[in-house]
Chains A and B, each alone.
Chain A
Amino acid sequence: MLDILLPTLIFAALVLAALGAWRRVRLWRRGRASKVAFLRGLAAMPRRYLVDLHHVVARDKVMANTHVATAGGFVAALGLAVIVHGLGLAEGMLGWLLLAASATMFAGSLFVVRRRRNPPARLSKGPWMRLPKSLMAFSLGIFVVTLPAVGVLPSGFSQGVGGWLVALLLAGVVAWGLAELVVGMTWGGPMKHAFAGALHLAFHRRPERFADTQHGGYPSTGLKALDLDDAEAPLGVGQPADFTWNQLLGFDACVQCGRCEAVCPAFAAGQPLNPKKLIQDMVVGMAGGSDAGYTGSPYPQTPIGEHQGSPHGPIVAPASTKDGKALVDAETLWSCTTCRACVEECPMMIEHVDAIVDMRRHLTLEEGATPGKGAEVIDNLIATDNPGGFDPGGRLNWAADLELPLMADVERAEVLLWLGDGVFDMRNQRTLRALVKVLRAAGVDFAVLGNEERDSGDVARRLGDEATFQSLARRNIATLSQYHFDCVVTCDPHSFHVLKNEYGAFYPPGQESSYPVWHHSTFINQLIESGRLRLAPGQASRVTYHDPCYLGRYNGEYEAPRAVLKALGVELVEMQRSGYRSRCCGGGGGAPITDVPGKQRIPDMRMGDVRETQAEQVVVGCPQCTAMFEGVVPPTGDEEVAVKDIAEMVAVALDTTPEATLAPRDASTPQATEEVMS
């Protein structure tokens, strides 16, 4: 009886799964073309799964072990079941191995059951609630039907009427397990993540992010360039089919674990964004339908079931259809600060920020619908090369007394100091003065571009204006190429990221960027380590350090600022969310410009984190963060926490005893070093 039923069930499930897989692949192929190294990707997939994916999963130890047991047990059990029960080859060890595999899987599924008993809000409910039962059904069913095959139970146990019933029951249990775990894998059940996830790892749009980070690999965080020369290519993503096929595949890989939701600052602030829901909406759009089947947390302030889409329908309803709803609302896309916390946490390696910026590109470049002050900022960037619309001839006004050497005059310097648009901001000018003081104290030969510098293009790009970004990038590159310098140093992590990771694609053919770019915290740390900068330690303050997203998650620099603080001798208390889990200040991605309302403000929440540490000062390394934090009004009764850039911390700790002071190599302006803050 079971000898006939089991092979039939197994092969039927496999055939159905293959059919589903074919349909699913056709869905993905609605997307645009994207070049991938096909075979190399497939070959690299196991390693990407075992190393990179588990590196993320392992941040939650219990869940990691659960997953290893359940998934590992399942893959082994399925493979062996095909051999043992499908082909009837139970010889030797095979049956016993199958027993072991299904037992392991069963053990794992018990943990899944436990987690599902009181699931946290970030987990989806609905079909996901039955998954633990299905896992148990499959593992138990396979375990029991394998017992006769290894001789533990007599093979004739399913004879007679009672036996028949037992056999039918067992077959039913196995069928349930197979339906969920094998058929459901390709027909859109919860197990879809395994099928799509494996292929997503193989054909990931950023294969370089799997490079071995211990051996010179780097986080792949620069946005992909839009080809503006190709008049046919869509400008960004206006409908789900405008995504590349492997992006669509990536969306399908989401396991709805909600880790992204849990870390998203916009979600926590009550702005209408939830990265998990966004990815699920893209899946809805790709397959066509409404979001009514979604069982996780909604976008704050937005009920579920009112939005729908199709592969070739608009993602955001055009402005002409008043109150129209499509797949997502524009506010959802504009709430994102591009902080990458979601990407960092996602075990399925999904690239939320790429998708959001792709959709913003369409809104800005095709619809002309950048909200808030966005249009004004972009117009300013086009007309004056800075977002504030200031006179580009006044970039050095703040430094009139510092006599900064200009690249145009010296043509060659050790360091090109990239000042950024903070030159127009009085608060950031204090940071810049401090940085100049530090560089001079260390005798660094530096020069600035002065009025030749333009905005790096960061804001334009995150607002979706790829055209303005590329124009700024190309002109900045042309300027940089005229001069000789060993490295670029900047106190703005956004300029830092763009210069370091995003300008490479815009060098004229045959040229490439040949200089390292450093954030000032890294460079100052180098100066300290090499003994060029002497500090008089003894600042006895209690500080905490806020990792800027564009320095930390985007560029992996967590150590240098902490090393500098250590050299200063201050007491560093970490916030609960620091390092790669640092929470955004709310200033990135043009979020302060588009200004989507929420229940609270992101910088207020982050300053709450700061206050929890009871630090007297919060040290930052980004003009944007400084501005956001200084804009926070402390709760009544609480003392104001001072916001200090790391350069300011160093500038007041310089050891100015004569023997420590090196003669500046560039002796043009010794007098200016004195009066920088105290």
Chain B
Amino acid sequence: MQPEVTTMPALEVTVLVSVGRHPLTGRTRRADQDARGVELARSLADAQVRLLHAGMRDESSEAALRGYLGMGFTQLSLLEQPEGADVLPALAEALDATSPHLVIAGERAERGEGSGLLPYLLAERLGWPLVSGLAAVESVEDGVATLLQALPRGQRRRLKVRLPAIVTVDNAAPAPRQSAYGPARRGAFETTAGPVSDDEEWAAWQVQPARQRPKRLKIVKAASARDRFKAAAAKAEGGGGQVLTDVSPEQGAEAILMLLREEDVLR
């Protein structure tokens, strides 16, 4: 008997890209984390990578988006949205329609709300699992991806997740390749008008530049360089807290809810 030859369908990956903002000059640019997401997608074998952006198209945002095209793409899908629109429904609909296997996004945007909530809200709407803080995608087999999640101080956690899934990358992911002018200039925008939903709350908000939050000083009393190093490399020790193992989902949820009430997150 001949073994059955199955041609693996290409892994369809959509990277959500946004218009970034340089921290010093405020000029638009490709957002750093999103670019890392694109780099991650490019490193996947047999992946068909699609770039997706929902937002306004004007001169400065176009220049920034071309930064992603310059990483070696011929086109970028653009869901045109007016300024201040809530892009969530449009993105959810577009992803639902194209049903990619993997959606990659940056942890948070460099402009606008920048709350970092979008991937979670998307995952909730689509009913897909979400993995945050990805360092690498190790392999994809039979619809299951093996992921490497970045934890503080260089630790990594290996996870398996069933596709389709949404993953987010932060600065632990490999640095993005250079964006080249030629492909950036030639790349095309494939524009579609998605559903527009006005973000009424956003319209009522007042936006002002963020002030740097004061950081609590960590005072290290160390006599030797070795002690200082140990102090710097030590895990942050949370005061209190508890580790729950072998509990039922209800018990776990109960514990989380209690904590949120204690911390005044939920009232």
- Residues of A participating in the B interface, judged by any CB pair closer than 8 Å: 231, 235, 364-370, 374-375, 378-379, 382-384, 389-392, 465, 467
In B60-85, the 8 Å CB interface with A consists of: 70-72
CB-CB under 8 A from A391, the residues of chain B are 24-25
Are B180 and A367 interface neighbours, CB within 8 A?
yes
* Interface residues of A, dominant DSSP: helix
| A365 and B24 contact, Cβ closer than 8 Å, known pairs A382-B29, A383-B29 | no
Partner of A383, one of B25, B179, B182: B25
Among residues of B, the one whose C-beta sits closest to the C-beta of A465 is: B181
Complex A-B: 20 CB contacts under 8 Å: A231-B185, A231-B186, A235-B181, A364-B178, A364-B180, A365-B181, A365-B182, A366-B180, A368-B72, A368-B177, A368-B179, A368-B183, A369-B178, A382-B27, A382-B29, A383-B24, A384-B22, A384-B24, A389-B24, A390-B24
Are A384 and B180 interface neighbours, CB within 8 A?
no
Among residues of A, the one whose C-beta sits closest to the C-beta of B28 is: A383
- Most chain A Cβ neighbours within 10 Å, of B70, B72, B178, B186: B178
Are A368 and B185 interface neighbours, CB within 8 A?
no
Among residues of B, the one whose C-beta sits closest to the C-beta of A236 is: B182
Among residues of A, the one whose C-beta sits closest to the C-beta of B177 is: A368
CB-CB under 8 A from B24, the residues of chain A are 383-384, 389-392
Are A365 and B180 interface neighbours, CB within 8 A?
yes
CB-CB under 8 A from A366, the residues of chain B are 180-183
CB-CB under 8 A from A382, the residues of chain B are 27, 29
Are A368 and B178 interface neighbours, CB within 8 A?
yes
CB-CB under 8 A from A392, the residues of chain B are 24-25
When chains A and B are docked, how far (Å) is the Cα of A235 from the Cα of B70?
14
Among residues of B, the one whose C-beta sits closest to the C-beta of A370 is: B178
When chains A and B are docked, how far (Å) is the Cα of A375 from the Cα of B27?
18
CB-CB under 8 A from B179, the residues of chain A are 368
- Most chain B Cβ neighbours within 10 Å, of A365, A370, A378, A391: A365
Are B180 and A383 interface neighbours, CB within 8 A?
no
- Most chain B Cβ neighbours within 10 Å, of A368, A369, A465: A368
CB-CB under 8 A from B180, the residues of chain A are 364-369
CB-CB under 8 A from A384, the residues of chain B are 22, 24-25
Among residues of B, the one whose C-beta sits closest to the C-beta of A365 is: B181
Are B178 and A378 interface neighbours, CB within 8 A?
yes
Give me the 9 closest cross-chain CB pairs, A-B, nearest first: A368-B180, A375-B178, A368-B178, A366-B182, A383-B22, A365-B181, A467-B181, A235-B182, A365-B182
CB-CB under 8 A from B186, the residues of chain A are 231
In B1-52, the 8 Å CB interface with A consists of: 22, 24-25, 27, 29
When chains A and B are docked, how far (Å) is the Cα of A81 from the Cα of B181?
58
CB-CB under 8 A from A368, the residues of chain B are 70-72, 177-180, 183
Among residues of B, the one whose C-beta sits closest to the C-beta of A390 is: B24
Chain B 155-189 interface mask (CB, 8 Å, partner A; 1/0): 00000000000000000000001111111011000
In B111-135, the 8 Å CB interface with A consists of: none
CB-CB under 8 A from B71, the residues of chain A are 368
When chains A and B are docked, how far (Å) is the Cα of A390 from the Cα of B186?
31
CB-CB under 8 A from B183, the residues of chain A are 366, 368
CB-CB under 8 A from B29, the residues of chain A are 379, 382-383
CB-CB under 8 A from A465, the residues of chain B are 181
Among residues of B, the one whose C-beta sits closest to the C-beta of A235 is: B182
A322 to chain B, nearest CB (A): 14
Are B181 and A383 interface neighbours, CB within 8 A?
no
Given contacts A231-B186, A370-B178, A384-B25, 19 further A-B contacts (CB under 8 A): A231-B185, A235-B182, A364-B180, A365-B181, A365-B182, A366-B180, A366-B183, A368-B178, A368-B179, A368-B180, A368-B183, A375-B177, A379-B29, A382-B29, A383-B22, A383-B29, A391-B24, A391-B25, A392-B25
When chains A and B are docked, how far (Å) is the Cα of A379 from the Cα of B185?
16
When chains A and B are docked, how far (Å) is the Cα of A311 from the Cα of B56?
44
CB-CB under 8 A from B70, the residues of chain A are 368
CB-CB under 8 A from A389, the residues of chain B are 24
A259 to chain B, nearest CB (A): 36
Among residues of A, the one whose C-beta sits closest to the C-beta of B21 is: A383
When chains A and B are docked, how far (Å) is the Cα of A379 from the Cα of B183?
16
A560 to chain B, nearest CB (A): 37
When chains A and B are docked, how far (Å) is the Cα of A76 from the Cα of B48?
68
Chain B 181-204 interface mask (CB, 8 Å, partner A; 1/0): 111011000000000000000000
CB-CB under 8 A from A370, the residues of chain B are 178
When chains A and B are docked, how far (Å) is the Cα of A464 from the Cα of B111?
31
Among residues of A, the one whose C-beta sits closest to the C-beta of B71 is: A368
When chains A and B are docked, how far (Å) is the Cα of A364 from the Cα of B29?
18
Among residues of A, the one whose C-beta sits closest to the C-beta of B24 is: A391
When chains A and B are docked, how far (Å) is the Cα of A368 from the Cα of B183?
9
A7 to chain B, nearest CB (A): 57
Among residues of B, the one whose C-beta sits closest to the C-beta of A391 is: B24
Among residues of A, the one whose C-beta sits closest to the C-beta of B20 is: A383
When chains A and B are docked, how far (Å) is the Cα of A126 from the Cα of B177?
44
A393 to chain B, nearest CB (A): 8
When chains A and B are docked, how far (Å) is the Cα of A369 from the Cα of B180?
8
| A383 and B27 contact, Cβ closer than 8 Å, known pairs A366-B183, A368-B70, A368-B71 | yes
When chains A and B are docked, how far (Å) is the Cα of A467 from the Cα of B177?
18
- Most chain A Cβ neighbours within 10 Å, of B71, B179, B181, B186: B181
When chains A and B are docked, how far (Å) is the Cα of A392 from the Cα of B24?
8
- Most chain A Cβ neighbours within 10 Å, of B29, B71, B177, B182: B182
CB-CB under 8 A from B177, the residues of chain A are 368, 375
B64 to chain A, nearest CB (A): 11
A364 to chain B, nearest CB (A): 7
When chains A and B are docked, how far (Å) is the Cα of A392 from the Cα of B26?
11
- Most chain B Cβ neighbours within 10 Å, of A231, A383, A465: A383
When chains A and B are docked, how far (Å) is the Cα of A365 from the Cα of B184?
9
Among residues of B, the one whose C-beta sits closest to the C-beta of A392 is: B25
CB-CB under 8 A from A364, the residues of chain B are 178, 180-181
When chains A and B are docked, how far (Å) is the Cα of A391 from the Cα of B181?
24
A150 to chain B, nearest CB (A): 66
When chains A and B are docked, how far (Å) is the Cα of A257 from the Cα of B179?
40
When chains A and B are docked, how far (Å) is the Cα of A465 from the Cα of B181?
8
CB-CB under 8 A from A231, the residues of chain B are 185-186
When chains A and B are docked, how far (Å) is the Cα of A442 from the Cα of B27?
41
When chains A and B are docked, how far (Å) is the Cα of A378 from the Cα of B25?
15
CB-CB under 8 A from B182, the residues of chain A are 235, 365-366
Among residues of A, the one whose C-beta sits closest to the C-beta of B176 is: A375
When chains A and B are docked, how far (Å) is the Cα of A270 from the Cα of B27?
41
CB-CB under 8 A from B181, the residues of chain A are 235, 364-366, 465, 467
CB-CB under 8 A from B25, the residues of chain A are 383-384, 391-392
CB-CB under 8 A from A367, the residues of chain B are 180
A357 to chain B, nearest CB (A): 15
CB-CB under 8 A from B185, the residues of chain A are 231
B61 to chain A, nearest CB (A): 15
B46 to chain A, nearest CB (A): 14
When chains A and B are docked, how far (Å) is the Cα of A374 from the Cα of B179?
12
Among residues of B, the one whose C-beta sits closest to the C-beta of A364 is: B180
When chains A and B are docked, how far (Å) is the Cα of A231 from the Cα of B184?
12
A369 to chain B, nearest CB (A): 7
A444 to chain B, nearest CB (A): 33
B207 to chain A, nearest CB (A): 21
CB-CB under 8 A from A379, the residues of chain B are 29
B138 to chain A, nearest CB (A): 20
